[in-house]
Amino acid sequence: MKKLILLLSSSLILLSCESKKTETEQNNTAMNSTTTAAKPDSVNKSLYILTAIVTTQAPKIDGDSADNAWKGQTWYPINHLWLGKDYTKEDFEGRFKLSWDANKLYLLVEVTDDSLIDIHQKWDSSWWNDDCVEIFIDEDKGGDLHQFNHKAFAYHVALNCKDVVDLGPDQKPHLYNNHIKAAKKTKGKTTVWEFAIDVYNDTYVDGKDNKPVKLLKDKKLGFCLNYCDNDKSAERENFISSIPVVGEDKDQGWKDASVFNELILK
C-alpha cells in the first residue's frame, strides 16, 4: 500500500513539472515571437524607386545641365547618411537625375559642398577617402553579394573625372575608365557632374573583350548613388546615399547589391 501511495505521488509531481515546463516554453516562444515581429530589419524600397525616361538625344558630357535629356526627369535626393556624423546643408547637399538610351545610362549629379578634396594622388590608394561620386549598378537587379565579382559594379569616380575604380575578382582595385565618361563644372560651392555609363552584366571578365548590354524600356536595374565627402581630413567625414540602410553598419552597398534602389527605365 505504501508503495502504491509513493508511486502515485511521484506521478503527480512529474505531471506538475511537465506542465510548468510546457507553460514556460510557451511563454518563451511567445516572447521570442513578439521580439522578432517588432524588430525592424528592412527598408520599404517601394518608397525609393527611381525612374529614368528615355532620351532621343544623348547629353553632351561636359558638366552642363542644359541638355534636352535632363528636361522632364525627376530630381532625387542624396540624403541618407551611411557613415559619419550629421551634416548641414552648408557642408553638403546633393541630388541627381537619370536618363537613358539603348546604348548608355546617363546621370546628372548636382552637389553643393564647401570643399572638394583630392589628397590621395595614387588611384589605387584610399580612393574612397577623397571627395568622389560612387555609382553602384546591378544590371539584372539580382541583389547579390558583389565585393569580389561582377554581379554588380561599385564605381568610384574621382574628382579628375578620369579614374573609375572598383575591386576585381582578384580582390585588388582596377581601373574601369572605359565604362564611364565623366565631366564636371564647379561654380562657387556647387559642382555639376555628368556621366555616360556603359552597363555590363555578370558575365563580365576583366581583361576580355566585353560588350555592354542594350537597354530596353521597362528594364529594372539595381542602382544606388553615393557621395564621399572629405573636408580636409585623412579620411572621408561622411558617406551619403540615395537610399537608407537599417542597422549599425550601413556601409553595405560596395559589397551587397540587395541594398540598392530599384531603377525602372521608362
pLDDT in tens, 103-117: 999 999 999 987 777
Select from 106, 110, 78 the least CA-distant residue to 224: 78
**Model confidence at 28: pLDDT above 60:** no
| pLDDT tens-digit map of 116-137 | 776 666 666 665 567 789 999 9
Q: For residue 125, how many other CB atoms are within 10 A of its CB?
A: 9
pTM confidence score: 0.82
| pLDDT tens-digit map of 40-84 | 468 999 999 999 999 999 999 999 999 999 999 999 999 999 988
Output the DSSP codes for the chain: -HHHHHHHHHHHHHHHHHHHHHHHHHHHHHHHHHHHHHS-----GGGG-EEEEE-SSPPPSSS-TTSGGGTTPPPEEE-EEEESS---TTTEEEEEEEEE-SS-EEEEEEEEES-------STTSSGGGSSEEEEEEETT----B-TTSSSSEEEEE-TTS--EEEE-TTSSEEE-TTTEEEEEEEETTEEEEEEEE----TT--TTS---PPPP-TT-EEEEEEEEEE-SSSSS-SEEEESS---SS----TTTBGGGSEEEEE-
pLDDT value of position 90: 81
pLDDT value of position 188: 93
| pLDDT tens-digit map of 153-205 | 999 999 999 999 999 999 999 999 999 999 999 999 999 999 999 999 999 99
**Model confidence at 21: pLDDT above 50:** no
Mean pLDDT of the chain: 84
Backbone phi and psi for residue 134, each to the nearest 5 degrees, phi listed first: -110, 125
Comparison of pLDDT for 206 and 116, the residue scoring more: 206
- Integer Cα distance of 156 and 7 in angstroms: 77
Which set of grid coordinates corresponds to residue 161? 573625372
**Model confidence at 263: pLDDT above 80:** yes
- Integer Cα distance of 236 and 95 in angstroms: 19
**Model confidence at 211: pLDDT above 90:** yes
pLDDT value of position 124: 62
